[in-house]
A and B are shown apart, each in its own frame.
Chain A
Amino acid sequence: MNFGDRSIRDKLLRLNMAATGAALILSCAAFLTYEFVRFRDSGIRQIKTLGEVTAFNSTAALAFENPGDATQILSALGRTSNIEGAALYNLDGELFATFIREPSVVPIPSSPPPDGFSFSPNQLVGTLPVLEGQRRIGTLFLQADVAAMHQRFRRYSQIAAAVLAVSLLLAFFLTRTLQKQISDPLLSLTNAAKGIASAESCSVRLVKQSDDELGLLTDAFNEMSKRVEERERFFRISLDLLCIVSNDGYFRNVNPAFLRTLGFTEDELRQRPILEFVHPEDRPASLDATQRLTKGELLVNFENRLQCKDGSYRWFMWTSIPFPTEGVRYAAGRDITERKAAERTLAERARLLDLSSDAIIVRDLHNRITYWNRGAENILGWSNEEALGRDVHELLHTGLEAPLDQLVAQLRSENHLLGEVVQTARDGRRVRFLCRWSLDWDHEGNPKSVLSTGTDITDRNRTEEAAQRLAAIVESSQDAILSVDLDGVITSWNAGAERLFGYTAVETVGQPLSLLYPPGETDETSPVGHCIREGKPLENFQTVRRHRNGRLVDVSITVSPLMDRSGRVIGASTIKRDVSDRRRIEESLRDSEQRFRALVTATSDVLYRLTPDWGEMLDLNGGDFLADTKTPSRSWLHDYIFPEDQPRVMAAIDDAIRTQSIFELEHRVRRTDGSVGWTFSRAVPLLDAQGGLVEWFGAAADITDRKLAETRIQEANQQLEHRVAERTAQLEAANQELESFSYSISHDLRAPLRGIDSFARMLQEDYAEKLDAEGKRWLTIVSDEAKRMGRLIDELLSFSRLGRRALSRSSINMDRLARDVAASASATTPVPNKPRFDIGPLPPVHGDYTLIRQVLINLVSNAVKYAGKQDVPTVEISGHIRDDDTLYAVKDNGVGFDEKYAGKLFGVFQRLHSEDEFEGTGVGLAIVQRIVHRHGGKVWAESKLGYGATFYFTLPHHPNS
Chain B
Amino acid sequence: MNTPIKILLVEDNPRDAEVTLRALRKRNLGNDVIHVKDGQQALDWLFGPNPDGREDGNLPKLVLLDLKLPKIDGLEVLKAIRSDPRTRLLPVVVMTSSSEQRDVVESYERGVNSYVVKPVEFDSFSAAVAELGHYWLIVNHPTR
Hey, which bits of chain A sit against chain B, CB under 8 A? 743, 746-748, 750-755, 757-762, 783, 786-787, 789-790, 797
Asked if B98 and A754 make an inter-chain contact with CB atoms under 8 angstroms apart, the answer reads no
Of the A-B pairs whose beta carbons lie under 8 Å apart in the complex, a sample of 25, sorted by A's number, is: A743-B98, A743-B100, A746-B97, A746-B98, A747-B68, A747-B96, A747-B97, A751-B15, A751-B16, A753-B120, A754-B16, A754-B97, A754-B120, A754-B125, A757-B120, A758-B15, A758-B122, A760-B122, A761-B123, A762-B19, A762-B22, A783-B122, A787-B120, A790-B120, A790-B121
Q: Which A residues touch B120, using CB under 8 A?
A: 750, 753-754, 757, 786-787, 789-790
Q: Which of B59-108 contact A (CB under 8 A)?
A: 67-68, 96-100
Closest A residue to B19 using CB positions? A758
**In the complex, A797→B117 CA distance in Å?**
14
What are the nearest 7 A-B pairs in CB distance? Answer: A790-B120, A755-B15, A761-B122, A758-B122, A758-B19, A750-B97, A757-B122
B114 CB to closest chain A CB, in angstroms? 19
Closest B residue to A764 using CB positions? B122
Asked if A751 and B97 make an inter-chain contact with CB atoms under 8 angstroms apart, the answer reads yes
Q: B13 in the interface, Cβ–Cβ < 8 Å?
A: yes
Specify which of B15, B119, B120, B126 lies most central, judged by the most chain A CB atoms within 10 Å of its CB.
B120
Q: Which B residues touch A755, using CB under 8 A?
A: 13, 15-16, 19
B138 CB to closest chain A CB, in angstroms? 24
Q: Which A residues touch B6, using CB under 8 A?
A: none
Q: Which B residues touch A761, using CB under 8 A?
A: 122-123
| Contact A758:B118 (CB < 8 A) given known A743-B100, A746-B100, A747-B68 | no
**In the complex, A625→B4 CA distance in Å?**
101
**In the complex, A239→B107 CA distance in Å?**
103
Specify which of A758, A787, A790 lies most central, judged by the most chain B CB atoms within 10 Å of its CB.
A758
A257 CB to closest chain B CB, in angstroms? 102
A763 CB to closest chain B CB, in angstroms? 10
**In the complex, A833→B115 CA distance in Å?**
39
Q: Which B residues touch A762, using CB under 8 A?
A: 19, 22, 122
**In the complex, A783→B125 CA distance in Å?**
13
**In the complex, A760→B68 CA distance in Å?**
24
**In the complex, A358→B96 CA distance in Å?**
110
| Contact A747:B98 (CB < 8 A) given known A783-B122, A787-B121 | yes
**In the complex, A746→B67 CA distance in Å?**
12
Asked if B118 and A754 make an inter-chain contact with CB atoms under 8 angstroms apart, the answer reads yes
Closest A residue to B118 using CB positions? A754
Closest A residue to B20 using CB positions? A758
**In the complex, A755→B120 CA distance in Å?**
8
Q: Which of B98-144 contact A (CB under 8 A)?
A: 98-100, 118-123, 125-126
Asked if B19 and A754 make an inter-chain contact with CB atoms under 8 angstroms apart, the answer reads yes
A481 CB to closest chain B CB, in angstroms? 96
**In the complex, A789→B97 CA distance in Å?**
14
B48 CB to closest chain A CB, in angstroms? 28
A122 CB to closest chain B CB, in angstroms? 137
Q: Which B residues touch A753, using CB under 8 A?
A: 120
Interface of A is mostly: helix
Closest A residue to B101 using CB positions? A801
Q: Which A residues touch B67, using CB under 8 A?
A: 747
Asked if A754 and B68 make an inter-chain contact with CB atoms under 8 angstroms apart, the answer reads no
**In the complex, A743→B22 CA distance in Å?**
28
Q: Which of B1-44 contact A (CB under 8 A)?
A: 13, 15-16, 19, 22
**In the complex, A743→B103 CA distance in Å?**
10
**In the complex, A761→B26 CA distance in Å?**
15
**In the complex, A761→B119 CA distance in Å?**
14
Closest B residue to A754 using CB positions? B120
Closest A residue to B23 using CB positions? A758
**In the complex, A898→B97 CA distance in Å?**
39
Asked if B118 and A750 make an inter-chain contact with CB atoms under 8 angstroms apart, the answer reads yes
| Contact A759:B15 (CB < 8 A) given known A746-B99, A754-B118, A754-B122 | yes
Q: Which A residues touch B119, using CB under 8 A?
A: 754
**In the complex, A787→B118 CA distance in Å?**
13
**In the complex, A757→B13 CA distance in Å?**
15
Q: Which B residues touch A783, using CB under 8 A?
A: 122
Asked if A754 and B15 make an inter-chain contact with CB atoms under 8 angstroms apart, the answer reads yes
Q: Which A residues touch B97, using CB under 8 A?
A: 746-748, 750-751, 754
**In the complex, A790→B119 CA distance in Å?**
9
Closest B residue to A743 using CB positions? B100
**In the complex, A760→B100 CA distance in Å?**
27
A595 CB to closest chain B CB, in angstroms? 79
Q: Which A residues touch B22, using CB under 8 A?
A: 762
A685 CB to closest chain B CB, in angstroms? 72
Closest A residue to B102 using CB positions? A743
Q: Which of B39-54 contact A (CB under 8 A)?
A: none
Q: Which A residues touch B68, using CB under 8 A?
A: 747-748
**In the complex, A758→B100 CA distance in Å?**
23
Q: Which B residues touch A759, using CB under 8 A?
A: 15, 19
**In the complex, A838→B17 CA distance in Å?**
50
Specify which of B19, B122, B123, B125 lies most central, judged by the most chain A CB atoms within 10 Å of its CB.
B122
B73 CB to closest chain A CB, in angstroms? 11
Q: Which B residues touch A760, using CB under 8 A?
A: 122
**In the complex, A747→B99 CA distance in Å?**
8
**In the complex, A71→B100 CA distance in Å?**
165
A841 CB to closest chain B CB, in angstroms? 36
**In the complex, A750→B124 CA distance in Å?**
14
B22 CB to closest chain A CB, in angstroms? 7
Q: Which B residues touch A747, using CB under 8 A?
A: 67-68, 96-98
**In the complex, A753→B68 CA distance in Å?**
16
**In the complex, A751→B95 CA distance in Å?**
12
**In the complex, A111→B126 CA distance in Å?**
166
A807 CB to closest chain B CB, in angstroms? 16
Q: Which A residues touch B98, using CB under 8 A?
A: 743, 746-747
Q: Which B residues touch A789, using CB under 8 A?
A: 120
**In the complex, A688→B22 CA distance in Å?**
112
**In the complex, A442→B119 CA distance in Å?**
95
**In the complex, A435→B19 CA distance in Å?**
113
| Contact A751:B121 (CB < 8 A) given known A743-B100, A762-B19 | no
Closest B residue to A805 using CB positions? B101
Q: Which A residues touch B122, using CB under 8 A?
A: 754, 757-758, 760-762, 783
**In the complex, A174→B84 CA distance in Å?**
122
Closest A residue to B123 using CB positions? A761
Specify which of B22, B96, B99, B125 lies most central, judged by the most chain A CB atoms within 10 Å of its CB.
B99
**In the complex, A750→B122 CA distance in Å?**
12
**In the complex, A758→B126 CA distance in Å?**
9
Closest B residue to A788 using CB positions? B120
Specify which of A748, A751, A762, A797 lies most central, judged by the most chain B CB atoms within 10 Å of its CB.
A751
**In the complex, A753→B121 CA distance in Å?**
8
**In the complex, A754→B120 CA distance in Å?**
4
**In the complex, A762→B121 CA distance in Å?**
12
Specify which of B96, B97, B98, B123 lies most central, judged by the most chain A CB atoms within 10 Å of its CB.
B97
A961 CB to closest chain B CB, in angstroms? 28
B55 CB to closest chain A CB, in angstroms? 33
Specify which of B118, B121, B123 lies most central, judged by the most chain A CB atoms within 10 Å of its CB.
B121
Extra pairs beyond A754-B118, A789-B120 (5, CB < 8 Å): A748-B97, A750-B97, A752-B15, A758-B15, A760-B122
Q: Which A residues touch B100, using CB under 8 A?
A: 743, 746
**In the complex, A474→B68 CA distance in Å?**
107
Q: Which B residues touch A758, using CB under 8 A?
A: 15, 19, 122, 125-126
B19 CB to closest chain A CB, in angstroms? 4
Q: Which A residues touch B13, using CB under 8 A?
A: 751, 755
B10 CB to closest chain A CB, in angstroms? 15
Q: Which B residues touch A743, using CB under 8 A?
A: 98, 100
**In the complex, A909→B84 CA distance in Å?**
48
Q: Which A residues touch B118, using CB under 8 A?
A: 750-751, 754
**In the complex, A797→B98 CA distance in Å?**
11
**In the complex, A678→B120 CA distance in Å?**
74
**In the complex, A602→B22 CA distance in Å?**
102
**In the complex, A743→B120 CA distance in Å?**
16
B67 CB to closest chain A CB, in angstroms? 8
**In the complex, A747→B121 CA distance in Å?**
15
